[in-house]
Amino acid sequence: MKLAKVRLADGSVRVASVEDQTVKLLDLSRSATIRCLADILNEADPSALARSLIDEASDPLPAGAVRFLAPIDSQEVWAAGVTYKRSQIARMEESESGASHYDKVYSAPRPELFFKGNARRTSGPGEPVRVRADSRWTVPEPECTLVVSPKGKLVGFTIGNDMSARDIEGENPLYLPQAKVYNQCCALGPCVLLADQPLDRDSTKVKLTIHRAGREAFKGETHLGMIVRGWDELIGWLIRENDIPDGAFLLTGTGVVPPDDFTLEDGDSVSIEITGIGTLTNPVVKAKSST
Ligand code: DO4
Ligand code: MG
């Protein structure tokens, strides 16, 4: 079952189930305690609860009749890094001073985890993702994203874009937070595939396509079987001495890296498709540098 946050033509925001391009609205007023999508995701059995809240009185809608929003409420967004060999190699090349850190973290027991943002910094489908005005080299990172409950349970999967200023990160590893966390630095969506339908990692593809002026500027793909870490392993490290009272989204790292002479430009369009979840597409914005 897939759940989403959607905006209807009248402007109202609703939680919905999505199946075969058909959207069924949920009626949250039937529950005294459920106010948003996160409340459903954080319950013991999100599928059963969502099914019980489907509003049979309202007609199912075609997916094209609603606007999909980022499926986030008050959760934090975290990200894992260097979980694919491809990312380890790219990072070692980009950073002379930090190369050995990237080499070690790929195989160390403790993964790289960093805070990526919150709802305010996160774009939904169709909303812009940003290239920092002070970056000359920024790429999207297409990442399978775990939806984690406050108790650390894997409750679902969505698609994430971990926008990354590779020049800022490469100049000095201590600049990582600025390379990774800024306005519109992350995109999530279009829906959450509930985890009671587990993803088969080897057959789940992650595809990245970047369009520029109507033409394909980059295309690449990987599959989840290439990730060196397990989902429970990553979540276990995330919640170690670190409460997530509202739950969290955990991006699991990138295995698709455009060539080093490629940077996103204002007006590009980034699409990330993950088998079984859907496609997340965002336009790219970059303000002119004031420096
Ligand atoms: O170490 C820098 C970030 C790595 C990352 O974001 C990734 O591998 O996806
Ligand atoms: Mg990443």
User: What digits encode the pLDDT tens for the residues 5-25?
Assistant: 999 999 999 999 999 999 999
Please tell me the distance from the alpha carbon of residue 291 to that of residue 287, in angstroms, as a whole number.
12
Arithmetic mean of pLDDT over the chain: 96
- pLDDT cut 70: percent of the chain above it: 99
Q: Measure the CA dihedral 29/71/236/129, to 10°.
A: -160
Higher pLDDT, 67 or 93: 67
Task: Tell the residue nearest (CA) to atom 5 of ligand 1.
Answer: 81
Looking at 3.40.50.280, 3.90.850.10, 3.30.200.210, 3.40.50.300, the CATH number of the domain 76-286 comes to: 3.90.850.10
Residue 129's identity, in one-letter code, is V
Place of tokens 């970059």: 286
Residue pair 192/41 in contact by the 8 Å Cβ criterion: yes
Whole-number Å distance, alpha carbon 251 to ligand 1 midpoint, is 10
Residue pair 55/26 in contact by the 8 Å Cβ criterion: yes
Q: At how many degrees (to 10) do helices 99-107 and 85-94 cross?
A: 160
Please tell me the distance from the alpha carbon of residue 216 to that of residue 172, in angstroms, as a whole number.
32
pLDDT tops 70 at residue 290? no
User: Average pLDDT, stretch 46-61?
Assistant: 95
* Burial (0-12, 13-18, 19+ Cβ within 10 Å), 261: exposed
Domain edges within the chain: 2-69, 76-286
User: Average pLDDT, stretch 257-274?
Assistant: 98
Ligand nearest to the CA of 106: 1
Does ligand 1 come within 6 angstroms of the Cβ of 94? no
Whole-number Å distance, alpha carbon 80 to ligand 1 midpoint, is 7
Torsion sign across C-alpha atoms 45, 278, 227, 127: negative
Whole-number Å distance, alpha carbon 81 to ligand 1 midpoint, is 3
85-107: per-residue pLDDT in tens? 888 898 888 888 888 888 899 99
Task: Quote the pLDDT of residue 291.
Answer: 61
Q: Cβ neighbours of residue 188 under 8 Å, at least 6 residues apart?
A: 70, 71, 72, 77, 122, 123, 124, 145, 158, 159, 160, 161, 249, 280
Q: Is 61 helix (H, G, I), strand (E, B) or coil?
A: strand
Ligand 1 site-directed mutation target among 88, 116, 141, most atoms within 8 Å of CB:
141
157-174: per-residue pLDDT in tens? 999 999 999 999 999 999
Please tell me the distance from the alpha carbon of residue 119 to that of residue 186, in angstroms, as a whole number.
9
Higher pLDDT, 197 or 54: 54
Please tell me the distance from the alpha carbon of residue 65 to that of residue 254, in angstroms, as a whole number.
32
User: Average pLDDT, stretch 254-275?
Assistant: 97
Task: Quote the pLDDT of residue 148.
Answer: 98
